[in-house]
Amino acid sequence: MRKLAPLVLISFPLALTWPLAAHLTTHLPLGSENAFTVPLLNLWTLGWNADRLFQGWQGYWQAPIFHPTSGAFAFSDPQPLTGPLAALLWPLSPALAYNTILLLYMSLNGISAYALLRERGLKPAAALAAGLTVQALPFLTHERGVLQLQALFGPILAISALWRLFDGPTLRRAAALGLATGVTFLTSEYYALLLLPVIAAHAAFHPRAILRRRLWLSAGLALAIALALILPVAIPQGRYLQAMGFRRSATSLQHTSAQPIDYLRASPRLRVHSLLADPGGGSGQRLYPGAGLLTMGLAGAALGLRQDRRRRWALALIASGLAAGVLALGTNIQLGSLNPLEAMRQYIPGLLWIRSPFRMTVYLQLSLALLAGEVFQRFRATRRELVALGLAVAVLGEIWPLPEPLRAIPQMNPAWARAVAGRGARVVAHVPWSEGESVSAYQQTSIWMLQTLAQDLRLVNGYSGFFPKTNGQLRHLLERFPSAAGLRALKVMGVEAVVIHRELTDRELSFLKEAIEWGEIEVILRGRGLWGLRLLRRRSGSAERYQGPWNLQAEYERGRLDIQALATVPDASIYLYDVWSTPLPLELVVEGETRRWRRAFRPAGTALLYHGSSVRLRQTWDLPLPAGSFVVSLARSDDLRPVASTTVEVDAP
């Protein structure tokens, strides 16, 4: 069994994802996604990692989407560890690169769980049964279309290394823990950010070991290695996200926080789904772990608690599972006056940017699968192998997935890309823009991202975890493109070509004819429902040239002054503001009775300023003010002449 286990664990993902094995070079799995958007985003991410690897990681964060916004690759999970394997296989087939990484992740999930349980004293057959269960976790099946959520092996390796470190601190074991933590971050930032409470739960059951000086020295080495792997990615990514003013709102977290009833709602990707009634209510998440897995996990917990040498391991798994279940509830749970997730967001860097607390459920299901190994071990110890095998088959049978839905990857060299690149254009925009803000609305955008990457072009459109303000503005301005306002906006942004994927109305054809006569546009491609336009006479429209009026709002709370400024453009001009490239000639001035404070106006984000826009430029200023009334002004940098002002009242503490 010991020799067969790796082969079984490598082969099992082929069965779980069937019929993917028959289409490795042409199709991607969808999982429970109702659109191809997220798998294509991850395919594009692999492609960009491979591309930058060939360039020595130069310009890594300047991904060719959301032009002219800087640092666009920081807006979603970069997954840099996929770069080497993706670079090796991408020339053969992008789909092959993606699917190889997916199957590798799934294999490593099982192998790492098997190795962990063998280290914790389980026999090979019991560890193998639990490893297969980890590979088949309902959460992983449901999220099969989200590549980074399949990389559960990093956290499992971290748990394994932590326990070995507590067994006896050595430099090698410390290095293993640091490496596993770093690998977790470089494959799935979500899992890394949510790993801390799991690690803390396991560490809590080694109180004596924590007092050892040698352990702290080893832990310091582990931390140093982890930070050496994490910080080169986390620091620049955090800088770009902060500069754009991104963070998840309370409303966003509320929509993605689990509710207890969600644990009764099975994924439609499971065969058992058709046999279970939908309980209704809840957040809509599909978090059902399987009755068999839940029963086996609880039974394993009871067995572990009854044995002295297994009790600590069982307690750690119970504690980590409970912690994961509580945090998955996100904003829906209060412990007294404390919300655990909000408390963690205040102290753990990066948690301000996570969107889906319910994903913490994966650690709950992992704990159940590892605890189930205790039951498999129990029957193996009494030599009732057939009973143990039957239990494993029953658990896997209930959570067995339906055939994996697949989708063929798009053509990578379409006619529009050849036409644009052939005329020397490098910055391109596509219309119609996304028809809404849902994931499915951006499916076509994700296709353009892939095709743009293949042709070494830069795209004004884009899809990611975060969106710059210009994305929503362009959706509005290009709604009826070709139009005067849309043409002005694109020229200000330095766009060189536009591809229109629909038939034009008579009004639009008339405008296009006039624009051609004016020398503003030339047609480079025309087909059924397809127009390629090259923009001529592009003009600068930097926001530093804006001389018009502003509307100013300011709020003060707990030592922070929040300023929001709206450029009330009085004419048809359009200006581009970008936090990285536009030094606005304005300063913020705060005046009290006896003192004045000044600071450059450097708001977060990238936005277009135009008549009718409601987008405000926002800047937060840490400024401890005494009680009183203060005038907040936006003033010219040269003479401090106010262009807008408002008043804030600061109450006594």
Instruction: Express each pLDDT in 174-206 by its tens digit.
Output: 999 999 999 999 999 999 988 989 999 999 888
Q: Cα 83 to chain center, whole Å?
A: 17
Fold topology of 543-650: Immunoglobulin-like (2.60.40)
Backbone Cα Rg of the chain: 28
Above 70 in pLDDT, residue 384? no
> How many CB atoms within 10 Å of residue 643?
16
Q: What is the mean pLDDT of residues 612-625?
A: 93
* Closest of 156, 169, 171, 168 to residue 202, by C-alpha: 156
Over the stretch 260-292, which tens digit does the pLDDT of each residue have?
A: 999 999 999 999 998 888 888 888 899 999 999
Overall size of the chain counted in residues: 653
What pTM does this model have? 0.94
Q: How high is the mean pLDDT of the chain?
A: 91
pLDDT at 385: 64
CA atoms within a 13 Å half-sphere pointing along the CA-CB vector of 479: 7
> How many CB atoms within 10 Å of residue 531?
22
pLDDT at 383: 61
CB proximity list for 447: less than 8 A, separation 6 or greater: 36, 40, 410
Q: Cα 617–621–623 angle (5° rounding)?
A: 155
Q: How far apart are CA 378 and CA 380, in angstroms?
A: 5
| b/e code 362-386 from CB counts within 10 Å (16+ = b) | bbbbbbbbbbbbbbbbbbbeeeeee
Q: How far apart are CA 613 and CA 147, in angstroms?
A: 37
Domain range list for the chain? 4-57+83-398, 415-535, 543-650
User: What is the pLDDT confidence band of residue 350, given thresholds at 50, 70 and 90?
Assistant: confident
**From residue 323, how far is each of 202, 340, 354, 357, 463 by CA, in Å?**
11, 10, 17, 12, 32
Above 90 in pLDDT, residue 249? no
CB proximity list for 12: less than 8 A, separation 6 or greater: 106, 107, 110, 132, 135, 136
Contact 548, 568 (CB under 8 A): yes
Q: What is the mean pLDDT of residues 502-520?
A: 92
Over the stretch 55-74, which tens digit does the pLDDT of each residue have?
A: 899 999 999 999 999 999 99
Q: What is the mean pLDDT of residues 94-115?
A: 97
